[in-house]
Chains A and B, each alone.
Chain A
Amino acid sequence: QVQLVQSGAEVKKPGASVKVSCKASEYTFTDYYIHWVRQAPGQGLEWMGWINTNSGVTNSALKFYGRVTMTRDTSDSTAYMELGSLRSDDTALYYCARGLIAISAYGLDVWGQGTTVTVSS
């Protein structure tokens, strides 16, 4: 079935970087954006950015400009999100989700299982 499977939990020290992967299956990878959304403990959903998996163009929330890098490997149907200069308040559950490129109004219809990133000295 259509799914997004994310990489496993990470523990990082402040100032380090983390790279999370999101592998897609059972659909045409390049027809959909991959969005990255995070959720701090007990908090709401926070959109981080998207990558157009067809063109490779990315866009991120202002808050993450210069700190987040989104890439993809179309040969492996996998998207990646790297967040640098980690701080303790980056501790969160990070989700990838897909959204149809042609019609943004269709929402984010498939989500990964989430990847826990813990930032601690």
Chain B
Amino acid sequence: SYELTQPPSVSVSPGQTASISCFGDKLGDKAACWYQQKPGQSPLLVIYYDTQRPSGIPERFSGSNSGNTATLTISGTQAMDEADYYCQAWVGSTVVFGGGTKLTVL
């Protein structure tokens, strides 16, 4: 079965750039999405169609997807960005989530 692999954790200092990767076979041929989940909250879509930001998502969130890797980049990371992040893609008629990455801002 298809798998999306993310690093379990990423740390970043406030104001710096955080990059979270998501690896899957020929992932660049699919559309990747990213979700942010803070403790006790439902997931929030932050990137869709590889690079697009939904209304209300800050410009510091950006995405890319090429080859086997999709990447979520947070520029000028703020304390409020500390959360779990999940990548997601459609594989045929099914949906696959990555295992999630805990972003720590310290």
Q: Which residues of A pack against B, CB within 8 Å?
A: 35, 37, 44-47, 50, 59, 61-62, 95, 97, 104-109, 111-114
CB distance from B38 to the nearest CB of A (A): 13
The segment out of B10-18, B19-27, B67-75, B91-99 that lies at the interface is B91-99
Q: How far is the CA of A81 from the CA of B42 in the complex (A)?
A: 18
Residues from chain B with a CB closer than 8 A to the CB of A111 are: 42-44
From DSSP, what is the main secondary structure of chain B's interface residues? strand
Q: Contact: A46 with B90, CB < 8 Å? A: no
User: Cβ of B100: which chain A residues have Cβ within 8 Å of it?
Assistant: 44-45
CA distance A89 to B84 in the complex (A): 22
Check: B48 CB closer than 8 A to any chain A CB. yes
A60 to chain B, nearest CB (A): 8
